[in-house]
């Protein structure tokens, strides 16, 4: 897959519902995750899946911390996400496409007056709080706020400013799934 594969084929977010990985991909991912030093953290996370982000945020945080301790094994997971972030940054359709600072400020202002303004403001506060404190409680609040923003944007996907963001999120997860699947296939998992 090349960096241009993150470009949208269809820019209508209503036709771009992310379907997620296949059952086979999930099983291969599971085998990779329990093969490292975080088997207990991962199985706790699996037990939590299906609950809300609020219920699972501490479990997710513990799994992430464990994976960082065992980075020698889990490095490919982080490397793929880092690559996704870098490629997306170079190729994405920007939410605020203006180059001039005044025009960009105007776009940001319009974005903040949109239907999801309160949830976006809440996320920004929670993100700043997490950056300052970096603990389980603030991580939980940040995830909960992002989940609320994402659901609001999906509910208002006809709003132009959200279309670029939603399309970008879809491409991001699809690209990750393909790259991680290729990594697992190479490991014969």
What is the span of the domain harbouring residue 76?
A: 21-186
Q: Is residue 15 in a domain?
A: no
CB neighbour class for 101 (10 Å; exposed up to 12, middle 13-18, buried from 19): exposed
Q: Is residue 11 in a domain?
A: no
Q: Is residue 37 in a domain?
A: yes
- Non-local (6+) Cβ contacts of 63 within 8 A are 38, 41, 42, 44, 45
Q: What is the pLDDT of residues 22-70, one digit of tens each?
A: 788 788 888 889 999 999 999 988 887 666 555 677 788 888 899 999 9
Whole-model pTM: value is 0.56
Q: Is residue 103 in a domain?
A: yes
Whole-number Å distance between alpha carbons of 183 and 181: 5
Domains contained in the chain, number: 1
Count of H helices and E strands in the chain? 8, 0
């Amino acid at each position: 897959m090349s960096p241009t594969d993150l470009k949208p084929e269809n820019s209508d977010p209503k036709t771009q519902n992310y379907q997620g990985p296949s059952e086979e991909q999930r099983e291969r991912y599971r085998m990779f995750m329990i093969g490292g030093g975080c088997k207990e953290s991962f199985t706790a996370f699996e037990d939590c899946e299906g609950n809300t982000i609020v219920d699972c945020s501490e479990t997710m945080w513990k799994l992430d911390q464990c994976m960082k301790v065992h980075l020698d094994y889990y490095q490919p997971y982080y490397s793929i996400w880092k690559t996704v972030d870098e490629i997306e940054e170079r190729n994405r359709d920007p939410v605020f496409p203006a180059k001039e600072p005044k025009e960009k400020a105007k776009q940001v202002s319009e974005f903040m007056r949109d239907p999801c303004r309160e949830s976006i403001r809440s996320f920004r506060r929670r993100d700043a709080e997490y950056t300052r404190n970096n603990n389980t409680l603030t991580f939980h609040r940040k995830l909960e706020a992002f989940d609320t923003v994402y659901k609001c944007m999906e509910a208002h996907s006809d709003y132009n400013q959200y279309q670029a963001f939603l399309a970008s999120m879809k491409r991001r997860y699809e690209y990750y799934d393909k790259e991680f699947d290729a990594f697992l296939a190479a490991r014969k998992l």
